Chain A
Amino acid sequence: MEIDGNTLIFIIIILFLFFSSPGGDGVSSQYEYNQLQTLKSIYQNEFDTFKNLTSTTNFRNITGLKLSYEDVQGNPDLNATYPLKGKVYDHWFTNQTFQLLPDEVMNMINTDIWNLPYNSKNLFPPNITSTVMGSIKLHSNNKYEKINMPVPRFYEPPKDFSDNTPPWGETYVTEWPSYGELHNVTFDSGELNIQISHIDKVTRQINSNKKYKFNKEDENWKLLSLKIDFFDKAENEKHSINSLAIYDIRRGRILSMTQSAKFHSIFALPHYLNFENNDENNNDTELIFNESKQLLIDYWNASNYIDTLTMGNLEGAYDNAYFKCEFMTFLQLEPWNQYTKEQLKLVNEELNWPLGRPANLSVVPPVKITKGLLYSPDCGVLLNMENVKGPRYELKLRTIRTHLLAGVVLIATEIYLLLRQMQHTNTPSSVNKISFYCFSMMNLVDGSLATLYFIASSVIPELYLPLVISAFASFILASIFETRYLISIYASQINEQYVGVLTLLRGSTAENDEERPVVIPDEASISSSLYGRFFFMLIIFTFLILSSTSWPRQIRMIFEYSAIFILNSYWIPQIFRNAVKGIPSRRRRRRDSNTVMTRRQNKTPLLWKFIIGTTIIRALPVIYVFTYSSNVFRHHKDVRFAVLLSLWLLFQITMLYTQDILGSRWFLPRHAIPEGYSYFKAISSQHLMEHGQTSEVNTVDCSICMSEIPVYVEELPETHKVDQHSYMVTPCNHIFHTSCLENWMSYKLQCPVCRAPLPPL
């Protein structure tokens, strides 16, 4: 490439765009800098207040915590200001005068949720990394007052380029935007996923990978990150929450609160970990408060909370404030009392770092949330959880790994069967009888499987090895063996490309006048076009599958069911192909099989081993997913569809079998089946003359073996002793020995003399 001034400027601009993107905290203007500084100073002030908090003092000027439930109850339009007239800041009691929760909800938590008495008998698992699933029920969405949570105005984006200072003040939003999540929950019951992960280590700088431990009370307290999703069954209304959580290991309690521009919940966590008011437990209350506060302070200091704030955090907080309700989550874990403390430690170590310790991992119970409650102070919504549980993440990975390995075995078997099938049909004549579309459907499935495995291997690093092995196996199957087979099928059928189905049924090419290319593309060009088509289809289909996972349930189900049904109809094209090629019935094949040649020509194109094996291998995963309710893909159970699919496959196989037994055209009416082209026929003397022979000899030269062929000439009775099956007449009127031409036809379906396409035997 010639580098002139323009190119240089272009390169410089590109480089400028690359390197001028804001790194670090993402600040790219004076306005944004001021925004971030404001946020940092607010956080710093609030943190200083937080440090001085005790279990008996109220929050003061902390965002989102300025009002309590009772403040709002009489006066829903009360502005959240500090200090509020008449509000008590020097005390803290667990009632609605001080809390964001109404007394009723607090009682509910005390009696129904966190009701396990604290004693050392209950043992809770220290590590609960898992994805738990269950159902969620709406308790009420209009009973409780909504607490005003104003959004500070400095979060707002600049109005114009010259704007340098963010506005002051707060916005009291009354009309929530119609996009984003609904500021309410309208369904009565739905489904719930909670992804629990531990925060054991934190980074100290923005772009660093080095992580440090911070938790001094690791035995008793854990910091968690919860990702809670809940939605109705039809997935029309989805809510998704990301939040920090505190896990009290001794009591099995998890408290999480969402954080946004209107609610700085990190400072509220210690106050909401305990709702018991009686004096005997006062000590306990103080202990819980102080220990959890220390955990948060440790986390704050270790992660350099203020210094690691970025513009991304700021914008995220602003978006969450506008588009989502704030939620407080109260969860109670089920104790694992079947273990002793030492056993629990052993199980935990074995899960973390498998060494074959005697921890029976197959009986490790699931992480189960016995009771849970979601309350939104600013939307006044109360939700209950039911039957929420899931296996430990490591155990989940183990099951997935075994499933993947089983899949690899299936793919390997399929490769073996395909190889046998390819050996069975090793001539163009036999490959010609196989349907191209039958194998392209299988190829599409295997290819997209390979791509999906490959994508998954980069998403789940823990399963990299088995996923890559699976991707490799299915890629080998799809792009090497199947595509190679497709190429030879395509090459053997290229003669028929411009021929209608009826002509094909007739099997003759003699009478039609259609223009057909004489030069047949070679395998290299076929293979390049087929590979191109294969990868194009693959990418389209994979993207379709990937994007379908985010579609609404209804559409997704329709897509899934129809795709599975269509892709499992792979024998249908073969049934049509058989009918077109007209394979005789088994009895006739037996009768005709006196010569080796005819036996080879008349064999069925597909091995029964291959048909049955492929059907089983391809149906097994689908049937597993649809009938086994606790399958690894979390797919819903639908036995009816699995049975329907199996019946459909059985029907296809039965059709193939009847074609094998009765002949491939048994279901066609007799008059619809015209005679096929016959290579064995008498020739006329005029034809003989054209071959340059005098009528005395009555022979033609075979241009393959260069020796003479005696022929049956209709007009000459003395030649009628000649067996018509000893020579073959091509549609282009060339004559060869039967054995010579059959040998040649196993290499190419072209006339050796004029290159005209030959109908396969």
Chain B
Amino acid sequence: MSMETPFGLRQYPVTKFCMVTTAAIPIVASIANCKYIFLTRYEPFISEYQQYYRLALFELGATNESDVLLLMLIWYQFRHLERIMGSYKYISVISLIYLYTSVILTTLYIGLNVLLSQTIWNSLPQGSLPVVMAMLHFYKEFTPKIYDFKIVVKNPLSSSKDKRANFECHLDDQFFVLSLIFALLLNQGYVGISCGFLCWLIGVFIDKGIFVGFHNWRLPFIKHWLSDENNLTRETGIASSSGPNINTYINNVREGSNNLQEMEGHDYDEENQDDEPARPLGVQFLDAFRR
């Protein structure tokens, strides 16, 4: 596996899909003036109007513009996960998490409100926050730290020998993702923080096997579409989901092995790349002008 991340999103079809839908769904909804369908409030939508479709939709679109932006950035940062798992497994895991989080969240949501016979938990988070929070566990688990750094801020009033007066801050390369997540949680208030924590736990349970399906669940029908993409991505160094290296890699990371060279795919050869890369959509449009 190469340390260099491939440039652009061409080799991350699932990441691209997630980012595009994160932005496109709210835009289309606001053009059609139906953004409110992503709003979930127990009082009055569920309890009074019985609009259960909202429970199926709340994870699909974020209505707040800053949420949309943060989610897009987080999906972009999570592209390393797609690289590690391979596109097919990545989308399968995302769909698994989507199912688990929406089922568990809505069950708890309705259950708590019905059992306590008063609305203590009124709203659900918006957008893919639950999925992102569960994916965060996998991100922390599987993505190696590449570097870390220390920020030392000197206290101007104390003498230089007094080391305790200095403010030190240890950060690693993942701190950007974490601060984005932090902002996302804060942005949605108490609901964001509590549901975010819950969904992170769901991620942990899925990984530990308490919630089954991480190794076996695969989405039907779309394998062909994604493996076509994989043929392209394999050449540039992304592990394919069909190959055995994902499990080896995951095990290696767990055992703390840094031997990345071991796993470098034998079928990966940078020299043999196709001379003419596939043309992106933009170029294809512009080709209409060429002659």
Contact status B32-A746, CB under 8 Å = no
When C-beta atoms are compared, the residue in chain A nearest to B45 turns out to be: A356
Given known contacts A354-B33, A466-B31, is B291 in contact with A746 (CB within 8 Å)?
Answer: yes
Contact status B291-A747, CB under 8 Å = yes
Residues from chain B with Cβ under 8 Å of A419 in the complex? 285, 288
| B21 on the A face (CB < 8 A) | no
Contact status A427-B291, CB under 8 Å = yes
When C-beta atoms are compared, the residue in chain A nearest to B285 turns out to be: A419
Given known contacts A405-B31, A465-B31, is B36 in contact with A356 (CB within 8 Å)?
Answer: yes
| B66 on the A face (CB < 8 A) | no
Question: Which of A354, A469, A484 gathers the greatest number of chain B CB atoms within 10 Å?
Answer: A354
Contact status A401-B51, CB under 8 Å = no
Given known contacts A427-B291, A484-B289, is B36 in contact with A355 (CB within 8 Å)?
Answer: yes
| B7 on the A face (CB < 8 A) | no
Contact status A426-B290, CB under 8 Å = yes
| B39 on the A face (CB < 8 A) | yes
Tell me the residues in window 374-425 of chain A with beta carbons closer than 8 Å to chain B beta carbons. Answer: 398, 401, 405, 419, 422-423
| A488 on the B face (CB < 8 A) | yes
Picked from B30, B37, B290, the residue with its CB within 8 Å of the CB of A356 is B37
Contact status B49-A358, CB under 8 Å = yes
When C-beta atoms are compared, the residue in chain A nearest to B48 turns out to be: A358
Residues from chain B with Cβ under 8 Å of A423 in the complex? 287-288
Residues from chain B with Cβ under 8 Å of A426 in the complex? 288, 290-291
Contact status B288-A358, CB under 8 Å = no
Contact status A401-B32, CB under 8 Å = yes
1/0 contact string of A715-733 vs chain B (CB within 8 Å): 0000000000000000000
Contact status B36-A469, CB under 8 Å = no
When C-beta atoms are compared, the residue in chain A nearest to B39 turns out to be: A355
Residues from chain A with Cβ under 8 Å of B37 in the complex? 356
Contact status A488-B49, CB under 8 Å = no
Residues from chain B with Cβ under 8 Å of A354 in the complex? 33-34, 36
| A759 on the B face (CB < 8 A) | no
Interface residue count for B (Cβ, 8 Å)? 19
1/0 contact string of A348-365 vs chain B (CB within 8 Å): 000000111110000000
Residues from chain A with Cβ under 8 Å of B287 in the complex? 423
The bracket for how many chain A residues form the interface is 20 to 34
* Cα separation A428 to B287 with both chains bound (whole Å): 15
Contact status A465-B30, CB under 8 Å = yes
Residues from chain B with Cβ under 8 Å of A355 in the complex? 36, 39, 45
1/0 contact string of B269-291 vs chain A (CB within 8 Å): 00000000000000001011111
1/0 contact string of A680-722 vs chain B (CB within 8 Å): 0000000000000000000000000000000000000000000
The minimal Cβ–Cβ distance linking A433 to chain B, given in whole angstroms, is 14
Tell me the residues in window 65-94 of chain B with beta carbons closer than 8 Å to chain A beta carbons. Answer: none
Residues from chain A with Cβ under 8 Å of B34 in the complex? 354, 356
Tell me the residues in window 7-34 of chain B with beta carbons closer than 8 Å to chain A beta carbons. Answer: 30-34
* Cα separation A746 to B32 with both chains bound (whole Å): 45
Number of A-B residue pairs having CB atoms within 8 Å of each other in the complex: 46
Residues from chain A with Cβ under 8 Å of B285 in the complex? 419
The minimal Cβ–Cβ distance linking B153 to chain A, given in whole angstroms, is 46
1/0 contact string of A463-477 vs chain B (CB within 8 Å): 001100100000000
* Cα separation A419 to B44 with both chains bound (whole Å): 49
Residues from chain B with Cβ under 8 Å of A427 in the complex? 291
Picked from B31, B49, B289, the residue with its CB within 8 Å of the CB of A422 is B289
Residues from chain B with Cβ under 8 Å of A358 in the complex? 49, 51
Tell me the residues in window 239-254 of chain B with beta carbons closer than 8 Å to chain A beta carbons. Answer: none
* Cα separation A488 to B289 with both chains bound (whole Å): 9
* Cα separation A357 to B30 with both chains bound (whole Å): 17
Contact status B33-A401, CB under 8 Å = yes
Residues from chain A with Cβ under 8 Å of B288 in the complex? 419, 422-423, 426, 481
Residues from chain A with Cβ under 8 Å of B49 in the complex? 356-358
The minimal Cβ–Cβ distance linking A527 to chain B, given in whole angstroms, is 11
* Cα separation A405 to B39 with both chains bound (whole Å): 23
Picked from A356, A469, A747, the residue with its CB within 8 Å of the CB of B31 is A469
Residues from chain A with Cβ under 8 Å of B45 in the complex? 355-356
The minimal Cβ–Cβ distance linking B288 to chain A, given in whole angstroms, is 4
The minimal Cβ–Cβ distance linking A487 to chain B, given in whole angstroms, is 9
* Cα separation A146 to B255 with both chains bound (whole Å): 102
Residues from chain A with Cβ under 8 Å of B291 in the complex? 426-428, 431, 488, 746-747
Residues from chain B with Cβ under 8 Å of A488 in the complex? 289, 291
* Cα separation A356 to B32 with both chains bound (whole Å): 13
Question: Which of A398, A427, A466 gathers the greatest number of chain B CB atoms within 10 Å?
Answer: A466
Contact status A356-B51, CB under 8 Å = yes
Residues from chain B with Cβ under 8 Å of A746 in the complex? 291
The minimal Cβ–Cβ distance linking A296 to chain B, given in whole angstroms, is 37
Residues from chain A with Cβ under 8 Å of B44 in the complex? 357
The minimal Cβ–Cβ distance linking A607 to chain B, given in whole angstroms, is 13
Residues from chain B with Cβ under 8 Å of A401 in the complex? 32-33
* Cα separation A238 to B285 with both chains bound (whole Å): 52
Residues from chain B with Cβ under 8 Å of A466 in the complex? 31
* Cα separation A590 to B153 with both chains bound (whole Å): 82
* Cα separation A354 to B37 with both chains bound (whole Å): 10
Tell me the residues in window 426-484 of chain A with beta carbons closer than 8 Å to chain B beta carbons. Answer: 426-428, 431, 465-466, 469, 481, 484
* Cα separation A431 to B290 with both chains bound (whole Å): 12
* Cα separation A747 to B45 with both chains bound (whole Å): 64
When C-beta atoms are compared, the residue in chain B nearest to A354 turns out to be: B36
Question: Which of A358, A398, A428 gathers the greatest number of chain B CB atoms within 10 Å?
Answer: A358
The minimal Cβ–Cβ distance linking B258 to chain A, given in whole angstroms, is 50
Residues from chain A with Cβ under 8 Å of B51 in the complex? 356, 358
Residues from chain B with Cβ under 8 Å of A469 in the complex? 31
Residues from chain A with Cβ under 8 Å of B31 in the complex? 405, 465-466, 469
Residues from chain A with Cβ under 8 Å of B290 in the complex? 426
* Cα separation A431 to B288 with both chains bound (whole Å): 13
Residues from chain A with Cβ under 8 Å of B32 in the complex? 401, 405
* Cα separation A747 to B289 with both chains bound (whole Å): 13
The minimal Cβ–Cβ distance linking B4 to chain A, given in whole angstroms, is 35
* Cα separation A465 to B39 with both chains bound (whole Å): 20
Question: Which of B32, B289, B291 gathers the greatest number of chain A CB atoms within 10 Å?
Answer: B291
The minimal Cβ–Cβ distance linking B246 to chain A, given in whole angstroms, is 39
1/0 contact string of A334-358 vs chain B (CB within 8 Å): 0000000000000000000011111
Residues from chain A with Cβ under 8 Å of B289 in the complex? 422, 484, 488
* Cα separation A356 to B30 with both chains bound (whole Å): 14
The minimal Cβ–Cβ distance linking B97 to chain A, given in whole angstroms, is 27
Residues from chain A with Cβ under 8 Å of B39 in the complex? 355-356
1/0 contact string of B44-68 vs chain A (CB within 8 Å): 1100010100100000000000000
The minimal Cβ–Cβ distance linking A456 to chain B, given in whole angstroms, is 15
* Cα separation A401 to B31 with both chains bound (whole Å): 9
When C-beta atoms are compared, the residue in chain B nearest to A429 turns out to be: B291
Residues from chain B with Cβ under 8 Å of A398 in the complex? 33
When C-beta atoms are compared, the residue in chain A nearest to B30 turns out to be: A465
* Cα separation A466 to B44 with both chains bound (whole Å): 30
The minimal Cβ–Cβ distance linking A665 to chain B, given in whole angstroms, is 27
When C-beta atoms are compared, the residue in chain B nearest to A748 turns out to be: B291
Tell me the residues in window 94-130 of chain B with beta carbons closer than 8 Å to chain A beta carbons. Answer: none
* Cα separation A242 to B285 with both chains bound (whole Å): 53
7 smallest beta-carbon distances between A and B, as pairs: A422-B288, A426-B291, A355-B36, A358-B49, A419-B288, A356-B36, A465-B31
Q: List 27 A-B contacts (CB under 8 A).
A: A354-B33, A354-B34, A354-B36, A355-B39, A355-B45, A356-B34, A356-B36, A356-B39, A356-B45, A356-B49, A357-B44, A358-B49, A358-B51, A401-B33, A419-B285, A419-B288, A422-B288, A423-B288, A426-B290, A427-B291, A428-B291, A431-B291, A465-B31, A466-B31, A481-B288, A488-B291, A746-B291
Q: Apart from A356-B39, A358-B49, what 6 extra A-B contacts exist at CB < 8 Å?
A: A354-B33, A354-B36, A358-B51, A426-B288, A465-B31, A747-B291
